[in-house]
Amino acid sequence: MIILGVDPGTLLTGYGIIERNGAATRVLASGVIKNPPAQLMPLRLRKIYLELSALIEKYHPDEFAIETAFYGKNAQSALKIGQARGVSVLAGVNYEVPVTEYSPREVKKAVVGNGAASKDQVQFMVVKLLKLKSTPRYLDSSDALAVALCHSHRIGQPRTGFKDWKSYIEAHPERVVHPYTKAERKKES
């Protein structure tokens, strides 16, 4: 299964394309769509749409995952991100790729285990989880890979999740990372 993850923005739109084959996941492509700050908004939106469309044509993703807008104090920024999200979703819909949206908190929790994680923490975990040889140059790129990873973890699961961590771990023991042996944990306590 191929998943296209998108972190929308009008100046930098991050994208990450991963392929999941059973338990194995590999990166097919990642990067950013860059727009100059002086460029008119309609031209920025057109570029985002066209470049995402080209990625969809090249990689034929089975799923499209995008981060929802973060509503902070700046309404103007939220509107601009909304426009970038709109053309991004349109690219997926025009190619009949199923689109799923995730909140920033949901993505961070899926990748880092903490919904309040920093962008640097997300980037660190993306590098580790995907066994990347180098750190992505832009945080927008690693955020897009995180969105794709989040979707990869959520496919086939109800969005309501599990009632508690214990039931989740019982259902998914392969996703538990054990940094220490039992003997090492006893020494720590």
Alpha helical stretches, state H, 16-174 = 41-59, 75-94, 104-111, 119-129, 139-154, 165-171
- Unique residue bearing structure tokens 């939220």: 78
How is domain 2-161 classified at the architecture level of CATH?
Answer: 2-Layer Sandwich (3.30)
Active site residue 7: yes
DSSP, res 138: S
In whole angstroms, what is the distance from residue 179 CA to residue 13 CA? 34
Distance CA 155, CA 3 (A): 10
Q: Of the listed 51, 63, 67, 106, which one is catalytic?
A: 67
Closest CA to 59 of 89, 8, 102, 15: 15
- Cα–Cα distance for residue pair 94/15, rounded to 1 Å: 18
Least confident among 40-49, 146-155, 166-175: 166-175
Q: Which of 51, 63, 106, 140 is catalytic?
A: 140
Q: Under a CB-based contact definition with an 8 Å cutoff, are residues 146 and 5 in contact? A: yes
Asked about 140 being catalytic, the answer comes back as: yes
- For residue 140, the model assigns a pLDDT of 96
Stretch 183-188: mean pLDDT: 60
- The predicted-structure confidence for 162-182, as pLDDT tens digits, reads as follows 556 676 677 767 766 665 555
CB 35 within 8 A of CB 48: yes
**Which of the 8 DSSP states describes residue 13?**
E
- Segment 1-40, tens digit of pLDDT: 999 999 999 999 999 999 999 889 999 999 999 999 999 9
Catalytic pick among 7, 51, 63, 143: 7
The answer to whether 75 and 33 are in contact (CB under 8 A) is: no
Which sequence spans correspond to the domains of the chain? 2-161
Reported as a single tens digit per residue, the pLDDT across 63-114 is 999 998 766 667 788 888 999 999 999 999 999 999 999 999 999 999 999 8
In the beta sheet, which residues pair with residue 17?
A: 4, 29
